[in-house]
């Protein structure tokens, strides 16, 4: 019997699935805790059947799904805590059975493929919805579909029914993308083609990874005029095109290449690394003391920067 099973990213072992440890560095304990969280989210969706989910429940659903995306959370403790919050909300709504963890990836291969396609799509939409919510944008139809989709995920359907669900999900996902685009452009302006430097200039610098533009904006505000340069990494690269971000002269360019190369590229680099969303890999000893996380990103032993009344203290110097 395998220690874990995860096949949600294109780097998965042998193109079939990680069964001993994740290619991303995820341990079996974390992988299994994430499966338990997904099972609990199905229970939450079942508990809201016939009811309008509260904004709190929607936020839990979105955060829970986002937490299980590749390269986001490597911390079994924080995942377990979130699962407990989901269970408490589920029970407050009247309770419901969770989806059995043992059945998540078992059964007819065609059905497993269709079911997992829906789940992976909903996880991706959760990331979009999460970042739209950070900027104050929400959509009832999108929120409701998280519950409809997760409830359907825990049910039996034939191939035609699964395909219908996937087509319906695709249309809702487009609305979620429109929501996020509206949130980003309203806050940061219409992005424009931008030439980006990969030259690292002299002086102290911070590398920001992920794709939470709001976190980057706060960091830029707090470090302006402090002699600290900021570089993007990974999925934060598009930030350079937004007028309200590129106006900061100390947003200098992009550091490194793809996320899977970070353990080599970050080694012995005298900089701080901030992870705002997915892109994290287990840090190596040569730079682990300079890695910080925020939002849903979590890794044991790293400093996590919390949100306090919508603000974060990324820079505490003079």
Return d(Cα 200, Cα 203) in angstroms, integer: 9
**pLDDT at position 1:** 52
CA distance 133 to 179: 9
Q: What is the pLDDT of residue 311?
A: 87
Q: Over the range 88-101, which residues count as b (16 or more CB within 10 Å of their CB) and which as e?
A: ebbeebeebebbee
Going along the chain from its start, the domains and CATH numbers come out as 13-187 (1.20.1270.20), 205-305 (3.40.50.2030)
How far is it, in rounded angstroms, from Cα 143 to Cα 193? Answer: 32
Report pLDDT for 318.
Answer: 62
Cα distance between residue 312 and residue 317, in whole Å: 14
Measured CA to CA in angstroms, residue 172 lies from 57, 104, 139 at distances of: 19, 24, 10
pLDDT at position 315, please? 82
Q: What is the pLDDT of residue 13?
A: 78
Of 147, 114, 112, the closest CA to residue 129 belongs to 147
CA–CA distance, 105 with 290 (Å, rounded to integer): 37
pTM score over 0.85: yes
Q: Give mean pLDDT in consecutive 10-residue pieces for the chain, a chain of 318 residues.
A: 82 86 92 96 94 93 97 96 97 94 89 94 97 96 97 96 98 98 98 96 96 96 97 96 98 93 94 95 95 96 90 82
């Amino acid at each position: 019997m395998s220690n874990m099973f995860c096949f949600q990213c294109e780097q998965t072992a042998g193109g079939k699935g990680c069964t001993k440890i994740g290619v991303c560095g995820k341990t079996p304990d974390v992988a299994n805790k994430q499966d338990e969280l997904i099972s609990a989210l199905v229970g939450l969706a079942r508990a809201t059947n016939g009811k309008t989910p509260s904004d709190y429940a929607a936020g839990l659903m979105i955060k829970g799904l986002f937490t299980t995306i590749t390269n986001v959370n490597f911390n079994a403790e924080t995942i377990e805590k979130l699962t407990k919050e989901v269970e408490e909300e589920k029970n407050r709504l009247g309770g419901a059975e969770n989806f059995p963890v043992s059945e998540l990836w078992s059964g007819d291969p065609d059905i497993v493929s269709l079911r997992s396609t829906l789940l992976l799509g909903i996880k991706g939409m959760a990331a979009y919805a999460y970042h739209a919510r950070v900027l104050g944008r929400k959509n009832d139809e999108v929120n409701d579909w998280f519950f409809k989709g997760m409830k359907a995920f825990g049910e039996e359907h034939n191939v035609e029914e699964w395909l219908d669900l996937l087509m319906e999900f695709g249309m809702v996902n487009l609305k979620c993308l429109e929501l996020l685009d509206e949130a980003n452009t309203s806050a940061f302006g219409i992005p424009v083609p931008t030439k980006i430097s990969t030259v690292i200039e002299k002086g102290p610098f911070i590398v920001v990874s992920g794709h939470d533009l709001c976190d980057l904006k706060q960091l830029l505000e707090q470090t302006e005029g402090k002699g600290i340069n900021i570089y993007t990494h990974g999925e934060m690269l598009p930030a350079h095109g937004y007028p309200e971000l590129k106006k900061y002269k100390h947003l200098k360019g992009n550091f490194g290449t793809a996320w899977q190369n970070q353990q080599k590229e970050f080694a012995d680099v005298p900089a701080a690394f901030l992870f705002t969303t997915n892109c994290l890999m287990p840090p190596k000893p040569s730079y682990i003391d300079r890695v910080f996380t925020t939002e849903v990103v979590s890794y044991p032993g790293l400093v996590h920067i919390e949100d306090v009344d919508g603000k974060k203290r990324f820079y505490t110097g003079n």
